[in-house]
Amino acid sequence: MNNQKVNIWLDCDVGNDDAMAVILSLFHPKSNLLGISTCFGNTSLENCTNNTIRLLSSVGRTDVPVYKGAEFSLKSTRATTKMHGTQGLYAANKLISTFKPIEDMDLYDLIKQTAGDQEFVIVITGPQTNIAKLLRDHEDIIPQIQEIVFMGGTSGFGNVTPSSEYNIYSDPEAAQFVIDTCKQHSLKLVMISLDLTYTCQLLEPLQQRIKSINTKFSDWCLEMLQEYQAAYKAQEFDYPPIHDPVAVFYALHPEMYVIKPVYCAVDCESKLCYGRTVIDKQGILGQEPTLQFARKVVVDQFWNQMIEAIQVAAKNSKIE
């Protein structure tokens, strides 16, 4: 196994499952989290940013810069989701907040400042607006990006419309721009879709393992996840899929995934299927692949390492 650390820039819309992505990228031993940019998404940009700050403050990681990013999608429409409550993060009032986000500079300058000349991976767990703008306005950063991994899309049914997944539906034009740019620059793009994240549900024994950590922070974590579970129960899921850390885990352990190159395009036109990721798994269209579609992950390993990260977060906790 390659034990070299992976530099990660995380772009997210915290978000209950985004919170788990933040924890994994902060505390996995292979991860070097350079910084976080926030985007509108599960809730307003303001809430998503405040939730990110709360989480970092509560685990003593105020060294990680938080950039307040896009408030609207490229075309200024905005989707909403009921899955994350009004504030975007359940039991957020149990966390503390000790610093402010960065908003008076360009995301590009902040990334350059934190990454220097090092290569890094971008992981996107919300709408892709920030990263589309970064690639559009600063092509010169592309050679420094090792790969982009995003959580979003589906080859099956959707979760915000019958055919579309939330993150892509929230800014389809941005997602298509990222696909086109990666293709044009031969930059590896990995898609962690609902097909895969539905296999990573927080089953009862996993909840027991979080419970047994038995600290204020792990109790918060479990409470937050159980409220998220309640929202999923209303959608006929017994257990909640924890989508976003599955994208972070790919950046750290690609060998635990089965991926397949496929042609994927986003429907930015139609009424019924707006935001649909059209994935040509069988090569019917005869088009060249545009991304790597993750088909499988070693689910036990994902959860073992996710729970270990929660344990480390709990040891670092500043909440009383």
15 lines the binding site for Ca ion (CB under 5 A):
yes
For the CA atoms of the chain, what is the radius of gyration?
18
Q: Which does 292 bind (CB under 5 to 8 A by kind): ligand BDR, Ca ion, none?
A: none
Q: How far apart are CA 35 and CA 30, in angstroms?
A: 15
Contacting Ca ion (CB under 5 A), which of 7, 16, 18, 276? 18
Out of ligand BDR, Ca ion, none, what residue 267 binds, judged by CB under 5 to 8 A for its kind, is none
Q: Is 127 in the site for Ca ion (CB under 5 A)?
A: no
Cα distances from 149 to residues 40, 57, 101, 303, in angstroms, run 19, 26, 24, 19
Minimum separation from the CB atom of position 143 to ligand BDR (A): 28
Give burial (CB, 10 Å; 0-12/13-18/19+) of 94.
middle
Stretch that binds ligand BDR, among 11-19, 225-233, 260-268, 297-305 (CB under 6 A): 11-19
Closer residue to ligand BDR (CB): 21 or 214: 21
If 0-12 CB within 10 Å is exposed, 13-18 middle and 19+ buried, where does residue 26 land? buried
Q: Which listed range, 12-20, 30-38, 101-109, 206-214, lies at the site for ligand BDR (CB under 6 A)?
A: 12-20
Closer residue to ligand BDR, CB minimum distance, 230 or 285: 230
> Cα 93–98–101 angle (5° rounding)?
100
The answer to whether residues 262 and 280 touch, using CB atoms and an 8 Å cutoff, is yes
By the criterion CB under 6 A, which residues form the site for ligand BDR?
A: 15, 17-18, 42, 81, 83, 125-126, 151, 159, 165-167, 243-244
